[in-house]
């Protein structure tokens, strides 16, 4: 019999069907923060809600899982196969699907075995985490080291990640004989089906502690707050992410940790405007300097640079300073700096200035 879902995943995240990937992510971030167990210590309902939100996001954020869920699953499973209707696979728990859709029929048949401990509840490796960091504009130019604080699951220092109390041994799981998997058989619409599933006793590790660690209750990891140092490369753009391998959630009982992704936000700078690897700025010069020519000191992200303005420069004319723009990520090169010249026309003239300009006009009209 297929496992019914308690609630609609879209309903859990408070979004409509057809919501974009960005809308799904925004809803998840908001609800996961709102219902995080650290904010509701001892509140079982908040913890349950937090797990529901994570399960819903795990399905809807994965294109293959979401496609199968949208096609075959609805909340309640009122006409699902498990109830003898003709509505297909409604009510099936798609959080247990593999990355390949129906490529792994074991996931599909799991419903006929009443579960078996696959999916999120049996995850061994740590999850990837994501956080955000805002830096100054010049940090993106020069590169920088910055610390970011995160709340995550870290390897338990009391049992060193084994899950066993100090002085207690870790033994082979009797249920699966240390393989981490068990084989089950059942009758289905396809005939007799055999399926290898993750062992529900050891959750796939093949080992169980004789006595669970008193600090982590046998998980091998505990919730902690910690600071991580991010090396920000020169040339990084607003919205780009850094990947810190192994800095995510610790794996269960010493298995591999996930990664930490840091989304970078870059503050603006009133002097400069960035466009890819190019930097733009605007300078204002007197009309006579535009007519006769001059030399300016122009600020760039690499320091002030001398720029020659030729005679006859027109308003909004653009000059390029080669190699003085934004560093190009992962190279030793930089883009270019572009200077737009605005010409300032005087609004008031002295008698002498007016006399000179009128003489110039008469000479020009000849």
Expressed as residue numbers, the domain containing 197 is 125-268
Task: Flag whether 109 is in a domain.
Answer: no
Judge if 40 and 65 occupy the same domain.
Answer: yes
Pair 260, 228: CB distance under 8 Å: yes
Judge if 138 and 63 occupy the same domain.
Answer: no
Q: Give the count of domains, the chain.
A: 3
The residues, any chain, with a CB within 8 Å of residue 188's CB and separated by 6 or more, are 109, 112
Judge if 134 and 263 occupy the same domain.
Answer: yes
Instruction: Considering only residues 238 and 112, tell me which one the structure prediction assigns the higher pLDDT.
Output: 238
Predicted local distance difference test score (pLDDT) of residue 361 = 84
Predicted local distance difference test score (pLDDT) of residue 131 = 92
Judge if 176 and 264 occupy the same domain.
Answer: yes
Give all strands of the β-sheet with 260-266 in edge-to-edge order: 129-135, 260-266, 241-244
Going by their DSSP bridges, the two strands 207-209 and 181-188 should be labelled as unpaired
- From 50, 70, 103, the end of a domain falls on 103
3-class SS of residue 165: coil
Average pLDDT over residues 118-142: 80
Predicted local distance difference test score (pLDDT) of residue 147 = 94
Judge if 243 and 341 occupy the same domain.
Answer: no
Average pLDDT over residues 12-21: 87
Judge if 256 and 333 occupy the same domain.
Answer: no
Task: Flag whether 115 is in a domain.
Answer: no
Is a pLDDT exceeding 70 seen at residue 274?
yes
Going by their DSSP bridges, the two strands 294-300 and 191-198 should be labelled as unpaired
Judged on CB neighbours under 10 Å (0-12, 13-18, 19+), 333 is: exposed
Is a pLDDT exceeding 70 seen at residue 188?
no
Judge if 169 and 262 occupy the same domain.
Answer: yes
């Amino acid at each position: 019999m297929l496992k019914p879902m308690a609630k609609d995943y879209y309903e859990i995240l408070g979004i409509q069907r057809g919501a974009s990937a960005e809308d799904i992510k925004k809803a998840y971030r908001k609800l996961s923060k709102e219902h995080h167990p650290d904010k509701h210590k001892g509140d079982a309902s908040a913890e349950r809600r937090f797990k529901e939100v994570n399960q819903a996001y795990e399905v809807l954020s994965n294109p293959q899982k979401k496609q199968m869920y949208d096609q075959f699953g609805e909340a309640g499973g009122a006409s699902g196969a498990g109830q003898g209707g003709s509505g297909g696979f409604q009510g099936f728990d798609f959080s247990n699907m593999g990355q390949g859709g129906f490529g792994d029929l074991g996931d599909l048949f799991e419903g006929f075995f009443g579960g078996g401990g696959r999916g999120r509840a049996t995850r061994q490796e740590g999850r990837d985490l994501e956080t955000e960091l805002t830096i100054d504009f010049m940090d993106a130019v020069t590169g920088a080291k910055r610390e970011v604080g995160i709340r995550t699951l870290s390897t338990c220092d009391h049992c060193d990640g084994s899950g066993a109390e100090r002085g207690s041994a870790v033994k082979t799981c009797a249920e699966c004989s240390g393989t981490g998997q068990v084989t089950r058989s059942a009758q289905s619409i396809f005939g007799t089906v055999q399926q290898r599933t993750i062992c529900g006793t050891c959750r796939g590790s093949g080992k169980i502690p004789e006595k669970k660690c008193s600090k982590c209750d046998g998980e091998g990891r505990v919730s902690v707050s910690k600071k991580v140092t991010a090396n920000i490369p020169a040339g990084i753009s607003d919205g780009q992410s850094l990947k810190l391998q192994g800095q995510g959630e610790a794996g269960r009982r010493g298995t591999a940790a996930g990664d930490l992704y840091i989304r970078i936000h870059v503050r603006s700078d009133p002097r400069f405007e960035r466009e890819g690897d190019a930097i733009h700025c605007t300078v204002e010069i007197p009309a006579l300097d535009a007519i006769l020519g001059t030399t300016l000191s122009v600020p760039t992200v690499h320091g002030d640079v001398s720029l020659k303005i030729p005679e006859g420069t027109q308003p909004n004319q653009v000059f390029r300073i080669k190699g003085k723009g934004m560093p190009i990520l992962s190279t030793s090169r930089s883009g270019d700096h572009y200077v737009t010249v605005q010409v300032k026309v005087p609004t008031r003239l002295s008698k002498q200035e007016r006399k000179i300009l009128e003489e110039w006009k008469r000479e020009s009209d000849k």
